[in-house]
A and B are shown apart, each in its own frame.
Chain A
Amino acid sequence: MPDNRYEKTPRPGQERYVAPPEEVKVGVIDAVDTSEAPSSLWADAWRDMRHRALFWVSAALIVFVVLMAVFPGLFTTTSPTECHLEDSLGGPTAGHIFGFDKQGCDIYARAVYGARASVTVGILSTVFVVVIGTLIGAIAGYFGGWLDTVLSRFTDIFFAVPFVLAAIVIMSLLDDRNALVVAVVLAVFGWTSIARITRGAVLGVKNNEFVTAAKALGMSRGAILGKHVLPNSAAPIIVYATVALGTFIVAEATLSFLGIGLPTSTVSWGGDLDKAQESIRIAPEIMIYPATALALTVLSFIMMGDVVRDALDPKARKR
């Protein structure tokens, strides 16, 4: 993976403030350029990211997957729900390049159409857990004291609820079962982990010198949390969230398995993975397609997460 963080010659107007010791002379490090106006965190990050190949590769993959989710018709003209039992487990033929699953449905079409439900579930539940988890974890970790106690114990209580029980109860109370509802169910039990991780990361960061410095400069506590502490705690959150995205898509399969997931007429990778298990002894290859689609999606988000983390890391950024 190309990485220009270690570029030898800094661009004009920008200086490293931290760099690998073996490559940069002390004088260069100390020469902090103060002539340029301070820029926002995200603008900096963007400037950094757009020069990285990895960013464009992962962005292209994400665009590809999202395009598939929004306009599946662009990728196939075969219907994923037109299934004839006589085609059951049939091999590839013209127009059906991956062959057929047990029900006689076109595997390629199902892999394409499955993107919508699975990507929606994956992204939505990840966004939900990151928002709730980060908020609660950051407040608990940063402010500490009784706030930490209350929020952390609240997290513990939620952790106590077995996923299957809660899913059965929530799904049966709701008549409508769509990707949003599934995402909410997954999120209600996913946020506790990310809250703990955020809290831990914030605890580790909040005693850093730059936080003390910001305090000394009279910055408000909220501003310090938002501008300094959170960006520096982002790495584990991003890592956890990008991996969780994949596990959420697989978890949807667990719900389908229990009969409380998406309706059978909704095509999803999770559901197809679950169904493929039945034929694992005679046709294990059926599982490869939804699993590959899932792996590619997770890969693109993990790579994107890596790039974003690098870009947000003030130690690695040029000021």
Chain B
Amino acid sequence: MTPRKRLVGLGAFALASSLVLTACGGGNSGDDATGDGASTGIVTISNGEPQNPLVGSMTNETEGGLVVQQLYSGLVYYDAEGVVHNEIAESIESDDNQTWTITIQDGWEWSDGTPVTAANFVDAWNWAGYGPNGAKGAGFFEPIEGFAEAQGVPEFDEEGNVSGMAEEPTAETLSGLEVVSDTEFTVKLTQPESDFPIRLGYSAYFPLPDAYYDDTAAFGEKPVTNGPYELESWEHDSEIKLVPNEAYDGPRKAQNGGLDFIVYTDENTSYADLQGGNLDILENVPTSAMSTFEEDLGDGAISEPSASFAAMTVPEWLPEFQGDAGHKRRQALSMAINREQITETIFAGTRIPATDFTSPVINGWTGEIPGNEVTTYNAEEAKKLWDEANEEDPLPDDYVLTIHTNTDSDHQAWVEAVCNGYINDLDIKCEMTGYPTFDEVLNERDKGPDGKVDGLFRAGWSADYPSLQNYLGPLYSKAALAGSNDGRYESDEFDAALKEAAAAPSLDEANVLYNKAQEILFKDLPGIPLWYYSTTAGHSENVDNVEFGWDSMPLLYEVTKTE
């Protein structure tokens, strides 16, 4: 069903650069970890049931991601602001941004007593990159040389479903990975990627011990780990208990007596438990409490910008949005959304009107991209543009604009508000088309040579690592037609601009160029930016030092709780 998958293998993020990494902090080896003064209370956190084994490269959802982050240490980690610091890495260096030399610190240990070696990284990455292993995070290894050979070439049936392998993988390992010594390995990419080190804090790049390969299935239930915490027990669908790893001597030393993840399926319920004192940290405030939680929770209320960005994608295959008239309609639809009012009224101020295609928490973000005036509400101009477009290229009388969304999350209210705005300001008919499950949306969106969806559809994107490129590339580059460029936007100009940005000599210069590339997006409007999400969370009076990171996940090792 998904033709996008035919194209996998062309390289999802086509970037060339010779950027020297500047964001990476100095190699601290754990001397700032304060072992003393740590509290002993066990912190309870609301979470969902992890959908995958507790292994970095197998985890692609936030529920499991949060647990995996506590269990494993990778080469680097992100602080609350998204700044990258070394954890196990001693240094990550490259002269050309294509061949990277990574050295790791001595003295790290797995919970079974074996040392953490360079080979633990290389083996883990090879395992994840080898197609038949079916790792969910395999895509993160695509930039590494030899990925295509380890994946093989799939075969598709007439509907676009993967039906078999046209060519089996010719290699079991990635040729770009090489172990130099116990503490050093090299990575050769297929092309320069300036932000490669920034990516390495993502859980897919975590190492795995030798014990993993004995029985991969059993390992995921009771993993051997190297992070600030160890798994004590995992009672499915109800509770995961972690205890501090006494041997851990890195920068993320646990400041509490342990973590207790409680599985909830309803956010209203976890909110009630927080209010009732049964829960310490609430990851998500329910929609019904959006306008009251700051009052309800007092000092325990947390509301800060996050790395998630929402837009409505305008599919390229719809004739009414092509050509000059189509371009005017895109502008009209963007200008007819009163973002201020919707974020205030529907979301009680927990979303921030978007003025670009990325997120304010990312280094390099600026709200001042030329062309972003279309994100300012202007009903008159919108109506004028819509009418002009209709003179050039009339729509049928019974035209109904549809906005497609999955309804297994809270999307109905804002879709209705946006539609009402269109009805009032543009004098058109507008309706929501809902899908009860996420896979049905995928199915509708990606069916056939073009998508099947006959209207706008919801697009939400959260960065996996804090980089402007992680929004623009996956959402709108031609290389990502295979991946998450679901509106099938194709622009040589935009692709060239991304390439130029990746080749910039410094991160700051790269960011300037990425923002220049956004000007092209504002001209073409492949999507209509809506708003940035906020992290809306809360904690009880029993815990202190609760901080949420750039990725909306709490920095749990910092939390203190006295018994």
Q: Which among B116-124, B340-348, B547-555 touches the partner chain?
A: B340-348
B436/A168 in contact, CB under 8 A: yes
Residue of B nearest to A260 (CB): B436
Is A35 close to B, CB under 8 A? no
A264/B288 in contact, CB under 8 A: no
Is B372 close to A, CB under 8 A? no
A102/B420 in contact, CB under 8 A: no
B413/A259 in contact, CB under 8 A: no
| Size of the chain A interface, CB-CB below 8 angstroms | 26
C-beta contact mask, A221-241 vs B, less than 8 Å → 1, else 0? 000000000000000000000
Across the interface, B345 reaches (CB within 8 A) one of A102, A172, A265, namely A102
With A85-B421, A88-B345: A281-B289 Cβ-Cβ less than 8 Å: yes
Is B338 close to A, CB under 8 A? yes
Assembled-state Cα–Cα distance A172/B423 (Å): 27
B423/A85 in contact, CB under 8 A: no
C-beta contact mask, B477-520 vs A, less than 8 Å → 1, else 0? 00000000000000000000000000000000000000000000
Q: Which among B77-85, B214-222, B427-435 touches the partner chain?
A: B427-435
Is B12 close to A, CB under 8 A? no
Is B440 close to A, CB under 8 A? yes
Is A83 close to B, CB under 8 A? yes
C-beta contact mask, A248-285 vs B, less than 8 Å → 1, else 0? 00000000011110011100000000010111111000
User: Which positions 453-495 of chain B face chain A at CB distance < 8 Å?
Assistant: none
Interface majority SS (helix, strand, loop, mixed), chain A: loop
Is B102 close to A, CB under 8 A? no
Min Cβ gap A246→B in Å is 24
User: Which positions 104-159 of chain A face chain B at CB distance < 8 Å?
Assistant: 104
Contacts of B342 in A (CB 8 A): 85
Assembled-state Cα–Cα distance A88/B412 (Å): 16
A279/B288 in contact, CB under 8 A: yes
Contacts of A193 in B (CB 8 A): none
B406/A259 in contact, CB under 8 A: yes
Min Cβ gap A82→B in Å is 8
Min Cβ gap A223→B in Å is 48
Is B114 close to A, CB under 8 A? no
Min Cβ gap B94→A in Å is 48
Residue of A nearest to B405 (CB): A259
Is B292 close to A, CB under 8 A? yes
Min Cβ gap B409→A in Å is 10
Assembled-state Cα–Cα distance A257/B424 (Å): 25
Assembled-state Cα–Cα distance A120/B413 (Å): 25
With A85-B345, A278-B288: A168-B437 Cβ-Cβ less than 8 Å: yes
Min Cβ gap A53→B in Å is 43
C-beta contact mask, B401-426 vs A, less than 8 Å → 1, else 0? 00001111010110111011101100
Is A86 close to B, CB under 8 A? yes
Min Cβ gap A43→B in Å is 49
Is B287 close to A, CB under 8 A? yes
Across the interface, B341 reaches (CB within 8 A) one of A85, A257, A260, namely A85
Interface size class of B (residues with CB under 8 A): 20 to 34
Min Cβ gap B493→A in Å is 37
Assembled-state Cα–Cα distance A258/B412 (Å): 10
B338/A85 in contact, CB under 8 A: yes
Assembled-state Cα–Cα distance A181/B557 (Å): 53
C-beta contact mask, A76-87 vs B, less than 8 Å → 1, else 0? 000001111110
Min Cβ gap B160→A in Å is 19
Across the interface, B420 reaches (CB within 8 A) one of A104, A258, A260, A278, namely A104
Is A247 close to B, CB under 8 A? no
A281/B338 in contact, CB under 8 A: no
Is B291 close to A, CB under 8 A? yes
A102/B413 in contact, CB under 8 A: yes
With A102-B346, A278-B287: A259-B412 Cβ-Cβ less than 8 Å: yes
Assembled-state Cα–Cα distance A70/B181 (Å): 82
With A85-B421, A103-B420, A259-B406: A282-B345 Cβ-Cβ less than 8 Å: no
Min Cβ gap A277→B in Å is 7
Contacts of A81 in B (CB 8 A): 423
Assembled-state Cα–Cα distance A81/B417 (Å): 11
With A172-B440, A259-B435: A264-B292 Cβ-Cβ less than 8 Å: no
B437/A280 in contact, CB under 8 A: no
Assembled-state Cα–Cα distance A265/B416 (Å): 9
Residue of A nearest to B443 (CB): A172
Interface centre among B345, B346, B408, B435 (most CB of A within 10 A): B345
User: Which positions 68-103 of chain A face chain B at CB distance < 8 Å?
Assistant: 81-86, 88, 102-103
Min Cβ gap B362→A in Å is 30
With A277-B288, A281-B288, A282-B291: A260-B434 Cβ-Cβ less than 8 Å: yes
Assembled-state Cα–Cα distance A258/B436 (Å): 5
A259/B436 in contact, CB under 8 A: yes
User: Which positions 280-296 of chain B face chain A at CB distance < 8 Å?
Assistant: 287-289, 291-292
B419/A278 in contact, CB under 8 A: no
Residue of B nearest to A265 (CB): B431
Min Cβ gap A6→B in Å is 50
User: Which positions 272-311 of chain A face chain B at CB distance < 8 Å?
Assistant: 275, 277-282
Min Cβ gap B269→A in Å is 14
With A88-B345, A259-B407: A282-B292 Cβ-Cβ less than 8 Å: yes
Residue of B nearest to A274 (CB): B412
Contacts of A279 in B (CB 8 A): 288
Residue of B nearest to A271 (CB): B412
B421/A280 in contact, CB under 8 A: no
Contacts of A85 in B (CB 8 A): 338, 341-342, 345-346, 417, 420-421
B431/A263 in contact, CB under 8 A: yes
Assembled-state Cα–Cα distance A292/B345 (Å): 26
Min Cβ gap B351→A in Å is 14
Residue of A nearest to B424 (CB): A84
Across the interface, A83 reaches (CB within 8 A) one of B420, B435, B436, namely B420
Contacts of B291 in A (CB 8 A): 281-282
Min Cβ gap A270→B in Å is 14
Residue of B nearest to A84 (CB): B424
Assembled-state Cα–Cα distance A263/B407 (Å): 13
Contacts of B412 in A (CB 8 A): 259, 264, 275
Residue of B nearest to A263 (CB): B431
Assembled-state Cα–Cα distance A10/B410 (Å): 63
A264/B416 in contact, CB under 8 A: yes
Contacts of A88 in B (CB 8 A): 345
Contacts of A259 in B (CB 8 A): 405-408, 412, 434-436
Across the interface, B416 reaches (CB within 8 A) one of A103, A257, A281, namely A103
Residue of A nearest to B411 (CB): A259
Assembled-state Cα–Cα distance A83/B422 (Å): 11
B288/A280 in contact, CB under 8 A: yes
Q: A259-B406, A263-B431 are in contact. List 7 more A-B contacts (CB 8 A).
A: A85-B341, A257-B407, A259-B405, A260-B407, A260-B436, A278-B410, A281-B291
* In the A-B complex, the 10 residue pairs with the closest CB atoms: A259-B434, A259-B407, A264-B432, A258-B436, A88-B345, A83-B420, A85-B341, A85-B345, A259-B436, A265-B431
Between-chain CB contacts (< 8 Å), 25 pairs: A81-B423, A85-B342, A85-B345, A85-B417, A88-B345, A102-B345, A102-B346, A102-B413, A103-B413, A103-B420, A104-B420, A172-B440, A258-B407, A259-B405, A259-B406, A263-B431, A264-B416, A264-B431, A264-B432, A265-B429, A277-B288, A278-B287, A278-B288, A279-B288, A282-B291
